[in-house]
Amino acid sequence: MSIDLTENSITKAVQCTFDGCHDARTRELFLTLVRHLHDFTREVRLTGEEWFTAMDFLERVGKITTETRQEYVLISDILGVSVLVDLINDQSRPCTTDSTLLGPFYVEGRPTAPNGADISGDVPGMPLFFTGRVVSPAGDPIPGARVDTWHSDGDGHYDVQQAERLHGRLAMRALLTTDEEGRFWYRSIAPRYYPVPTDGPGGEIIRATGRSPMRPEHIHFWFHAEGYDPLITMLFRSDDPYLACDPVFAVRRSLIVDFVQHDPGAAPDGTVVDEPFQTVDWTFTLSPAR
Ligand code: BEZ
Ligand code: FE
């Protein structure tokens, strides 16, 4: 009965309207959503003004969202929902590399590169040499695995955030392939910590709640190999000051690694570098496809 509803009876009245829903999962999702939404509204004694603020906020999230600016995803990230969904659905096995968020800066049209290539796209910065291995849980090399990697520059900016300066060129990203021993390696520049985009409604949440927008320094990876589950992950720099307060909650202890600092001299690829440089070496373990 939807007449003369009260603060409490309105919840059941709305839930009853889902009785005709034939898909059990859809029904469950709406029943539970309404229960939590109504409980939230009652618990905080939401005012009309606050409700209008929320509607205006959602309108502005919609307006700023484009194919390359995913503000809804960012808000899901900074409220911890993206990682929570990952954690709930995580089917990785104990002996495989942990997965974590994709983030908004992956680009489909990234260039392919041979092992050993300089993927910095001529963006200046401290040289960084990455050497990696991709293996099975038994430690066997996985040859022919496709390895997407992308990262920021030394000021914490991705190529797509400086399209004008780079004349639309993609940089600091590539698609590599592992060799017969499951190895891949490249030269680039050292990344840096950076803020999540704060010039939209997501930034308003960060400021209103007094949070830090800084993501700790990291390099992204996305692996595809025949017979294995794809793996999306990141490696974080072990001495980064923002490790414990990542605004998108993506840091996992198992993904914190040393970015080793070197004086000028011989680099892992056999070249001689006449300035200080960094090296990172890591083995990634993929999960056999289910
Ligand atoms: C990133 O790592 O690129 C990222 C992830 C989530 C939100 C913003 C940035
Ligand atoms: Fe990132």
C-alpha to C-alpha distance for 75 and 201, rounded to whole angstroms: 8
Find the domain containing 196 and state its range: 76-285
Residue 1 within a domain: no
| Cβ pair 64, 203 in contact under 8 A | no
Find out whether the beta carbon of 215 lies less than 6 Å from any atom of ligand 1: yes
- For residues 60 and 108, membership in a common domain is answered with no
Number of domains in the chain: 2
CATH number for position 162: 2.60.130.10
Identify the domain boundary among 20, 44, 70. Answer: 70
Find out whether the beta carbon of 74 lies less than 6 Å from any atom of ligand 1: yes
* Each residue's pLDDT tens digit, 233-260: 999 999 999 999 999 999 999 999 999 9
Residue with CA closest to ligand 1 atom 3: 103
Find out whether the beta carbon of 187 lies less than 6 Å from any atom of ligand 1: no
- For residues 168 and 185, membership in a common domain is answered with yes
Find out whether the beta carbon of 134 lies less than 6 Å from any atom of ligand 1: no
C-alpha to C-alpha distance for 207 and 212, rounded to whole angstroms: 8
pLDDT of residue 179: 98
| Cβ pair 61, 72 in contact under 8 A | yes
Residue 156 within a domain: yes
Cα of 99 vs centre of ligand 1, distance in Å, is: 14
Find out whether the beta carbon of 182 lies less than 6 Å from any atom of ligand 1: no
- For residues 41 and 87, membership in a common domain is answered with no
One digit per residue, the tens of pLDDT, for the chain of length 290 reads 689 999 999 999 999 999 999 999 999 999 999 999 999 999 999 999 999 999 999 999 999 998 778 899 999 999 999 999 999 988 777 799 999 999 989 988 899 999 999 999 999 999 999 999 999 999 999 999 999 999 999 999 999 988 889 988 999 999 999 999 999 999 999 999 999 999 999 999 999 999 999 999 999 999 999 999 999 999 999 999 999 999 999 999 999 999 999 999 999 989 999 999 999 999 999 999 98
**Long-range pairs for 67-74: beta carbons < 8 A, 24 or more residues apart:** 68/104, 68/160, 69/104, 69/197, 69/200, 70/104, 71/200, 71/201, 71/202, 73/104, 74/104, 74/196, 74/197, 74/200, 74/202
C-alpha to C-alpha distance for 152 and 126, rounded to whole angstroms: 12
Probe target for ligand 1 pocket from 70, 101, 222, with the most ligand atoms within 8 Å of CB? 101
16-54 CB burial, b ≥16 within 10 A, e <16:
eeeeeeeeeeeeeeebeebeeebeeeeeeeeeeeeeeee
Residue 290 within a domain: no
End-to-end CA distance of the chain: 48
Identify the domain boundary among 39, 70, 101. Answer: 70
C-alpha to C-alpha distance for 217 and 214, rounded to whole angstroms: 9
Q: Residue 102: nearest ligand to its CA?
A: 1
- For residues 113 and 204, membership in a common domain is answered with yes
| Cβ pair 233, 287 in contact under 8 A | no
Cα of 190 vs centre of ligand 2, distance in Å, is: 13
C-alpha to C-alpha distance for 146 and 273, rounded to whole angstroms: 28
Residue 14 within a domain: yes
232-270 CB burial, b ≥16 within 10 A, e <16:
bbbbbbeebebbeebbbbbbeeebbeebeebeeeebbbe
Find out whether the beta carbon of 77 lies less than 6 Å from any atom of ligand 1: yes
- For residues 135 and 18, membership in a common domain is answered with no
